[in-house]
Amino acid sequence: CLGAGLLRMGLSPKDHVGLYGVNCAEWVLCDHALHAYSMVSVPLYDTLGPDAVQYIATHANLRAICCSSAVLPHALDAAAHCPNLQLIVVWGLQSPFTSPSFAGLSGQGMAMENADGISSGSGSIGNSSSNKSISNDSKNIHSITNSNVSNTSNRNAHSSAPSAPSLPHVPHCHVMSFESLRELGQANRIPAVPPSGSDLALICYTSGTTGPPKGVMLTHGNLIANAAGSSLCFPGILPGHRYLSYLPLAHIYERVNHVLLTEKGCSIGFYAGDIATLLDDIQTLKPHVFSSVPRLYNRIFDKVLATVRSEKTSATARALFFRALAHKKRYLIKFGDPIGGRLGAIYDRVVFRKMRESLGGRVIYMITGASPLSTDVMAFLRCCFGAKVIEGYGMTESGCAISSSAHWDYSLGHVGGPHPSVEIKLVDIPEMRYTSKDVVDGIPTPRGEIWVRGPSVFVGYYKDPEQTKEALDLDSGWLHTGDVGAWLPGGRLKVVDRRKNLFKLAQGEYVAPERVEGAYSRSPFVLQSFVHGDSLRSTLVAIVVPDPDTALPWARSRYGGLTRRVESDNDSDRTTNVSGSTTNAVSYNPSAPSANVSTTASEGTEATAEEFRERQAAEKAQAAKDALKQLEELKRVCLDPSFEAEVFASMRVAAEEAGLKGFEQVKAIHLHPEPFSVENGLLTPTFKLKRPQAKAAFEEQIKRMYSKIEK
């Protein structure tokens, strides 16, 4: 119905359509509708601002955008600068707006009788009656199965629509509600126009860490090949199993997960739109498959260990936990036994049961990707959560997965063998001293740049033949990943370095900053870091964002609070050299049969939708106040020289444990209290560091660090 509605609105097969918003049922339904009629979907991260949306809309020649009401203003801003963008379909409208019926919107003299919508020219937002029930379902997790799609969306997607005066006047762009489009399609059925395998399915825009985003073109054949290969890697996923979708669908990782799980006959539930309540969503859905990124798994690892080591945990409980963990880890590594024998089964019930229940108690697969996961965290997850932990390696250009660890392989320190959809070869990099003849610890260990070929590899960058030639050998089909790998015994691949973003120090040594930053991230004091170096210097320096969960307790234990003022001649130039509450949740439980959620208020009465929204707004306001207070506290802690010394000492330990060479270790740090984020322009929507922007933002601090080193 949706696809037919788009065609009735004047779109055609092969047209490019943006999908803009957080994960929800409407997002996926629109995506399927586009593919059913051979249109190309262009996913947009919901964190993108108007400039990025405008760039992608113009570059990709978007004819329409399907979006949530939360990002409607950005979509309209982009439409004002993109004459080809003629239609915006919006879901998640909350208030009962009224507007005149649209007539002749497709340019074909077609009238939409009683179809409510939005007129960007008049600034009025329409809303069909069916949408009223949707707005009342904003709390619950909503799922898609192969046989049923719930008419629901998540909290964030259904945030209040923007007020009319904020909507810009865009005469050439027509805006209508999701429900209106569906009604139009139902009233004007058009046979599907299924695509072929070679037809373009997606244009995924990469993060753009060093320049404008590049549009990765992936065909339907690319997606099917990668998902089919992944299906062989997960034999334990069965029809009816549940999956919680919270990683952004604009990323190829989550997109291929959806293709795989649909093929497997699984149900897909969507988180409520707030990462802070993700554990609540997990408890509600109780997923069998949980997919995340090392950033979250590292936080789980650090939080558990911090709790166990805290004064609130008894010495007996602490000793029991570490004894249980050591026992299971020994059995896992030595015998490949994830249970740990009879004693391990007892430990599972006594020590690790609550940890497993925190993920719903039914997880059989935990999947990690997008960046490396340390061996300590991998072993911890396998021992404590009782699930098969699968680590994958891939990139958007490869259609997602390049390699993944086998479900039966419990060895550590690698990303498994080649994915069934690709072949891999390593190509010598003489200038970095990586060759096929390398020997490590007396064992032949071929190393080189990872090249990939297969039916899942992309067809090129949209409108960018030069970049395509650099990344893809069009004659042979080999994709140059820019990553450096090593072959381990058993045909396992280990990613050891990065060819891209390398910089050369004055003495001629090459440094891969991502590897160095990854090593320092294992320090409990480091939340984020930016490592800098150049060919005119022989040393590295770093901007470090301390982890408040470690920094603030350290400060309180040291001087009993955070009221101490730290005097400094120049507070903005504090550099260290080498020498040197639980709340009662209230949820709204609508009568929709697909929700299957029933949570009541603390008084035992069911909360209304309005009460839930009011409570949610109050909690968000309080969270904002708490975050501001924490930032002010952290600013004061960062000015304490003894704290800087503590952070630096912890970073040295992390560097040694990671095996960093002397020239790879930073010689000075500057503590910065505010985290790098998408909002402050230092991270991409996939949370990758924008190095040029970071270098510009911290130019003065970098100069001061080098000056102090030279003194």
pLDDT tens digits for range 476-498: 999 999 889 999 999 999 998 87
Closest by CA to 546, choosing from 695, 398, 650, 469, is 650
418 and 545 belong to one structural domain: no
pTM of the complete model = 0.73
Place of tokens 């629109």: 30
What's the CATH number where 19 sits? 3.40.50.980
- DSSP state, 401? E
Please give the DSSP secondary-structure letter assigned to residue 525: T
Q: Are 102 and 118 in contact (CB under 8 A)?
A: no
Q: Are residues 509 and 395 in the same domain?
A: no
When divided into structural domains, the chain yields a total of 3
510, part of any domain: yes
In a domain, 22, yes or no: yes
In a domain, 241, yes or no: yes
pLDDT in tens, 22-48: 999 999 999 999 999 999 999 999 888
Lowest mean pLDDT among 71-80, 370-379, 534-543, 579-588: 579-588
138: pLDDT strictly greater than 70: no
Question: Domain ends where: 437, 467, 490?
Answer: 490
The answer to whether residue 541 sits within a structural domain is yes
- Within 169-314, where are the H helices? 178-187, 220-233, 252-263, 278-285, 294-309
CA distances in angstroms from 543 to 276, 296, 512, listed in the order given: 27, 22, 16
Question: Is 108 inside any structural domain?
Answer: no
pLDDT tens digits for range 139-152: 334 444 433 333 33
Cα separation, 213 vs 23, in Å, equals 21
pLDDT of 57 > 70? The answer is yes
pLDDT at 243 over 50: yes
Q: Residue 18's beta-bridge partner residues?
A: 42, 65
pLDDT at 589 over 90: no
pLDDT of residue 307: 87
Average pLDDT for the chain: 80
Residues 415 and 326 in one domain: yes
Which residue, among 514, 509, 504, has the nearest Cα to 534 in the 3D structure?
504
Q: Where are the alpha helices (DSSP H) in 450-529?
A: 465-471, 513-520
Q: Are strands 439-440 and 443-444 parallel, antiparallel or unpaired?
A: antiparallel
Say if residue 607's pLDDT is above 60. no
Instruction: Give the CATH number for residue 270.
Output: 3.40.50.12780
Within a domain: 352: yes
Q: Do 463 and 510 fall within a single domain?
A: no
CA distance 407 to 421: 17
Coil vs helix vs strand at 57: helix
Model pLDDT, residue 474: 86
Which residue among 462, 490, 518 closes a domain? 490
Query: Between 375 and 147, whose confidence is greater?
Result: 375
Clarify whether residues 486 and 507 are in a common domain.
Answer: no
| Token pair belonging to 381 | 């997850």
| Predicted pLDDT at 616 | 63
- State pLDDT tens for residues 681-699: 888 776 788 888 888 899 9
In the predicted structure, residue 49 carries a pLDDT above the cut 60: yes
Cα–Cα distance measured from residue 19 to residue 533, given in angstroms and rounded to the nearest whole number: 39
- Separation between Cα atoms, residue 161 and residue 177, nearest integer Å: 12
Residue 426 confidence (pLDDT)? 96
Provide the pLDDT confidence category of residue 209 given band limits of 50, 70 and 90: low
Looking at the structure, tell me whether residues 530 and 440 fall in a common domain.
no
Q: Rounded to 5 degrees, what angle do the CA atoms 345, 351, 353 make?
A: 75
First to last CA, the chain: 71
Q: Torsion-angle region of residue 477: left (phi > 0), alpha (psi -120 to 50) or beta? A: left
- Domain holding 509: CATH number? 3.30.300.30
pLDDT for the residue 108: 32
Residues 616 and 706 sit within 8 Å (Cβ to Cβ): no
Strand order in the sheet with 400-404: 142-144, 267-270, 242-245, 289-292, 365-368, 388-395, 400-404, 417-418
Q: How far is CA 6 from the centre of its chain?
A: 30
The reply to whether 340 and 470 lie within a common domain is yes
**pLDDT higher for 430 or 580?**
430
- pLDDT band (50, 70, 90) for residue 62: very high
Read off the pLDDT band of 168 (50, 70, 90).
Answer: low
| Residues of the domain holding 29 | 1-99+171-195
Q: Which of 431, 459, 490 is the last residue of a domain?
A: 490
Domain shared by 520 and 403, yes or no: no
* 553 and 643 assigned to the same domain: yes
Judgement on whether residues 248 and 327 belong to the same structural domain of the protein? yes
Q: Which residues contact 433 (CB under 8 A, 6 or more apart)?
A: none
Q: Are both 402 and 521 inside the same structural domain? A: no
Give pLDDT, residue 678. Answer: 81
Look up residue 276 and give its two tokens: 């802070």
Q: Is residue 387 situated within a structural domain?
A: yes
Residue 463, pLDDT score: 94
Helix axes 294-309, 548-559, angle to 10 degrees: 20
Q: Is residue 220 part of a domain?
A: no
pLDDT higher at 210 or 496: 496
pLDDT at residue 576 tops 80: no
Task: Return the pLDDT at 515.
Answer: 81
484 and 518 share one domain: no
Confidence of residue 185 (pLDDT cuts 50, 70, 90): very high
Among left, alpha and beta (phi > 0; psi -120 to 50; other), residue 286 is left
